[in-house]
Amino acid sequence: MQKKIFLLIGLLWNALSALSGQADSVHVLRPVTVAYTLEAGSSHIADTYLSPIKYSGWGAGLHYERWQAMKFSPERWVMQLRFGVRAESTLNFAGNARMWFGGIDFSWAMMRRWKVANGLTLGAGGKAGLALGALYLERNGNNPVAAKAAVTLDATCYAAYNMNVGRLPVTLTWQPSMPLTGVFFSPDYGELYYEIYLGNHSGLVRYAWPGSYFRLDNSVMADLHFGATSLRLGYRGCIESTSANNIVSNHFTHSFVFGISGEWLSLNPRKKTSGNPRIINALF
């Protein structure tokens, strides 16, 4: 009787070991979803450090975006990296003074995702962001430049939906993000940058929260999958408002987005790939 029991335990152990070996042999592939986009549209700026008047005009930018499932728990967690540069030219209502803006932004996000329905995926998580830039007002003599800098921790989420328009596969993506905490740069009202250069550094770094540093970045994209490379069309809008040291700054942009996107696989030739690997997409 004891021999039969030990034999049964041995058979079960061998069966579990075989199943475990098969599970471990399944190779997981995490393709990278990359997009290169050009955006162009309107810009509206009001910064009381430079002028109490609102300036309106055009803006354009280039963006790089990268999505990939995380190495740990790839079906549940994804990461997103974004880098962009932007330039804007605006005029006052009289059309006799021009304000320029130039800036860069970088962010890295990690989000938990849920496949809630056929073709629909939702995700939510956090993002670390860095934004640097400057405003330049041509007509000002003493204070022609206002520097912009912020390091923030943001809340972000996304929704991705796969559908067909006729025979054309289309992926719709919506993503908003908003800073919750961080720090940003702000001089005192009327303070010259020469005074900062001479050593007046008090009060330059301010605590950022939605009451002092509000920024809502919202994007809606459609990827039209014509083949291995997709056409990306969409809209991106940003509402930014800061208040510190008696300086109020409002910066609103609305842009049409045009670019290309696609998925790429990076394979390590030193690692063997199974004949039936699991491919886990970054967005859905």
Residue indicated by tokens 């030219």: 89
> pLDDT-derived band of residue 269, with 50, 70 and 90 as boundaries?
low
Q: Indicate the average pLDDT of the chain.
A: 88
Give me the pLDDT at residue 267, please: 59
| DSSP structure class, residue 4 | H
Look at the alpha carbons of 39, 44, 45, 51 in this order and tell me if their dihedral is positive or negative: positive
Cα–Cα dist 21/8, whole Å = 20
Give me the pLDDT at residue 1, please: 47
Cα–Cα dist 46/92, whole Å = 10
Residue 251 domain-assigned? yes
What single string gives the DSSP state of each residue in 92-147? -TTSS-EEEEEEEEEEEEEEEEEEEETTEEEEEEEEEEEEEEEEEETT-SS--EEE
The pLDDT tens digits for 85-111 are: 999 999 999 888 999 999 999 999 999
Give me the pLDDT at residue 263, please: 86
Q: Backbone phi, then psi, for 12, in 5-degree steps?
A: -60, -40
Percent of the chain with pLDDT over 70: 87
Cα–Cα dist 135/183, whole Å = 19
Cα–Cα dist 50/72, whole Å = 48
Residue 24 domain-assigned? no
Task: Judge whether 223 and 281 are in contact, CB under 8 Å.
Answer: no
Residue 13 domain-assigned? no
Cα–Cα dist 167/186, whole Å = 53
Q: Characterize the bridge pairing of strands 168-185 and 145-165.
A: antiparallel
> pLDDT-derived band of residue 4, with 50, 70 and 90 as boundaries?
very low
CA 67 to chain centre: 10
User: How many CB atoms within 10 Å of residue 267?
Assistant: 10
Does pLDDT of 40 surpass 50? yes
The CATH number of residue 118's host domain is 2.40.128
Task: Judge whether 273 and 267 are in contact, CB under 8 Å.
Answer: yes
Residue 174 domain-assigned? yes
Residue 161 domain-assigned? yes
Residue 209 domain-assigned? yes
CA 73 to chain centre: 21
Q: What is the pTM of this model?
A: 0.83
Q: How many domains does the chain have?
A: 1
Residue 43 domain-assigned? yes
Q: In terms of residue numbers, what domain contains 89?
A: 32-264
Q: Of 250, 233, 199, 240, which is closest to residue 216 (Cα–Cα)?
A: 240
Residue 133 domain-assigned? yes
Which of 19-33, 35-49, 56-70, 181-195 is the least confident region? 19-33
